[in-house]
């Protein structure tokens, strides 16, 4: 396999995480360019990877204007900033690893896919859940017919109470006009996963969802505008002091704490929650994405599926049940349990990943994804990527159809999209 050169567009937690693969596997990949508007984050990548100042920029357009200088780009900007760099770099012949979702609108997703298909490049969207050992085992069990014909999938996306507060109330994904709808930003993973296990296209969807809790009219009496100066704060589970300073007390300085400041100390995080967006009261933010949603799906052949997304959970490990004509599977992202109808017995399969690094996230899916992308580019083997542009567009269309169904209170046929 040839060594793969990469340019990082967006040096936040996702871009930095994927860049780390090059640091840990220098014989396979190297980072030769970075574009990031924030000085400290850009300089950190540039210094860690000895990136030439010529290929270090605040704006991705500066690097795109140069002659092609890398094999591929990793685009890890905010959701609404995906389409333009993806189209430009595709047309210049760069292979692309694009953070999910592709883009916030159906039109922009289609524009990206058209550019990719017209450029003969390797293209992967970060649907990391496809790349876990857990998913591989489930896919093989279903394919082998151990549960007979697949009839129904139940999927729970338990966002987690603090994760909702961090990312989807106070954070970058709290407003649709800044990022995308909740279903796209958080659950395009899940609809893509369901489609992957089903193995056939989705025909129609319905959906319901609301912003039930994180609103001004739910604010407790006596609560202030910022957690740092709030009399109600000790009784609030969503307290920024609890979520961020509490983690520092436990000795945790990785995500989500390192989103608040590149150099994590008690002083820097205290300053961030005193003056920055992550210290705001969750009942007084400008968020508008839903905090709970359900989606029902009908697939070709008659199988059905449902997804429940809710903020109000302890854990952040997805739960799944898959029902077939001869048995059922249930799992939590690491352990799979198989019940056989003929023998009335349970079997357990442990797929747990022992990797607790940033690339070990999503049950090892982050590592599996970047390894597959590097392999695809280095060996000129598009098959190493588990979802090409057409199927990725298809699963995004499922999300757009579900969101339209929620807003219009109707059932949407995917073909009509």
DSSP state of 92: T
Query: Domain span at residue 61?
Result: 4-121
Asked whether residue 202 falls in the same domain as residue 332, the answer is yes
Same domain, 156 and 305: yes
**Residue 375 falls inside a structural domain:** no
Last residue of a domain, one of 81, 102, 121: 121
Question: Cα–Cα–Cα angle for 294, 311, 258, nearest 5°?
Answer: 135
Domain match, 311 and 193 both: yes
Looking at the structure, tell me whether residues 225 and 84 fall in a common domain. Answer: no
Together in a domain, 236 and 329: no
- pLDDT digit string, tens, across residues 30-46: 999 999 999 999 999 99
Q: How far apart are CA 200 and CA 196, in angstroms?
A: 8
Q: For residue 198, which of 391, 410, 333 has the smallest C-alpha distance?
A: 391
At 95-130, the pLDDT tens digits run: 999 999 999 999 999 999 999 999 989 999 999 999
∠ CA(273), CA(278), CA(279), 5° rounding? 45
Domain endpoint, select from 242, 263, 279: 279
Backbone dihedral angles phi then psi of residue 283, each to the nearest 5 degrees:
-95, 0
Same domain, 410 and 298: yes
Question: Rounded to two decimals, what is the model's pTM?
Answer: 0.91
Structural domain count, the chain: 3
Q: Residue ranges of the chain with pLDDT lower than 50?
A: 355-361
Q: What is the mean pLDDT of the chain?
A: 94
With respect to residue 299, please indicate whether it lies within any of the assigned structural domains: yes
- Are both 258 and 149 inside the same structural domain? no
Q: What dihedral angle (degrees, nearest 10) is formed by the CA atoms of 8, 9, 11, 12?
A: -130
Decide the pairing of beta strands 335-340 and 327-331. Answer: antiparallel
Residues 209 and 303 in one domain: yes
Task: Tell me 5's DSSP state.
Answer: E
Shared-domain flag, residues 27 and 53: yes
In a domain, 371, yes or no: no
pLDDT of residue 388: 86
Tokens representing residue 225 in the block: 């505008």
For residue 281, what pLDDT is reported?
A: 98
Task: Tell me if 17 is assigned to some domain.
Answer: yes
71, 145: one domain: no
pLDDT reported for residue 391: 92
41: in domain: yes
> Residue 363: its pLDDT value, please?
60
Would you put residue 152 in left (φ > 0), alpha (ψ -120 to 50) or beta? beta
* 361 assigned to some structural domain: no
Quote the CA–CA distance of 33 and 71 in Å, as a whole number.
Answer: 11
Q: Is residue 370 part of a domain?
A: no
Tokens of 196: 């992957």
The answer to whether 395 and 188 are in contact (CB under 8 A) is yes
Does residue 110 fall inside a structural domain? Answer: yes
Domain containing residue 210: CATH number: 3.30.360.10
Does 297 lie in the same domain as 160? yes
Claim to verify: residue 243 and residue 312 sit in the same structural domain? no
pLDDT (0 to 100) of residue 179: 87
Q: Which of 279, 303, 322 is the last residue of a domain?
A: 279
């Amino acid at each position: 396999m040839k060594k793969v050169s990469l340019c990082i567009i967006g040096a936040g937690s996702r871009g930095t995480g994927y860049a780390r693969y090059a640091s840990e596997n220098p014989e396979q990949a190297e980072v030769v360019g970075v574009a990031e508007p924030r000085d400290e984050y850009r300089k950190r990548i540039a210094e860690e990877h000895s990136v030439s100042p010529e290929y270090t920029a605040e704006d991705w357009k500066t690097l795109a204007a140069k002659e092609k200088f890398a094999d591929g780009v990793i685009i890890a900007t905010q959701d609404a900033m995906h389409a333009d760099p993806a189209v430009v770099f595709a047309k210049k012949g760069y292979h692309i690893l694009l953070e999910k979702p592709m883009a916030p609108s159906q039109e922009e997703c289609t524009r990206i896919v058209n550019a990719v298909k017209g450029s003969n490049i390797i293209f992967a969207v970060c649907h990391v859940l496809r790349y876990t050992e857990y998913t591989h085992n489930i896919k093989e069990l279903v394919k082998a017919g151990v549960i007979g014909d697949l009839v129904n999938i139940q999927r729970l996306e338990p966002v987690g109470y603090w994760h909702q507060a961090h990312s989807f109330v106070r954070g970058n994904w709290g407003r649709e006009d800044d990022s995308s709808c909740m279903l796209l930003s958080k659950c395009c993973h899940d609809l893509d996963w369901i489609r992957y296990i089903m193995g056939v296209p989705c025909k129609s969807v319905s959906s319901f969802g609301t912003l039930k809790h994180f609103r001004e009219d739910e604010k407790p009496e006596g609560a202030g505008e910022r957690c740092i100066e709030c009399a109600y704060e000790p009784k609030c589970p969503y307290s920024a002091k609890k979520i961020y300073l509490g983690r520092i007390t436990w000795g945790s300085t990785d995500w989500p704490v390192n989103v608040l400041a590149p150099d994590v100390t008690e002083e820097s995080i205290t300053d961030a929650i005193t003056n920055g967006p992550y210290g705001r009261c969750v009942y007084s933010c400008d968020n508008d994405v839903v905090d709970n949603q359900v989606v029902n799906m009908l697939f070709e052949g008659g199988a059905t599926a449902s997804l429940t997304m809710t903020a109000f959970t302890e854990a952040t490990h997805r739960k799944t049940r898959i029902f077939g004509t001869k048995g059922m599977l249930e799992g939590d992202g690491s352990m799979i349990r198989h019940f056989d109808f003929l023998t009335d017995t349970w079997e357990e399969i442990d797929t747990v990943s022992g990797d607790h690094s940033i690339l070990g996230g999503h049950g090892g899916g982050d590592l599996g994804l970047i390894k597959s992308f590097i392999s695809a580019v280095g060996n000129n083997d598009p098959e190493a990527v588990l979802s090409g542009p057409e199927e990725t567009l298809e699963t995004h269309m499922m999300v757009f159809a579900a969101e339209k169904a929620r807003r219009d209170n109707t059932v949407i046929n995917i073909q009509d999209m």
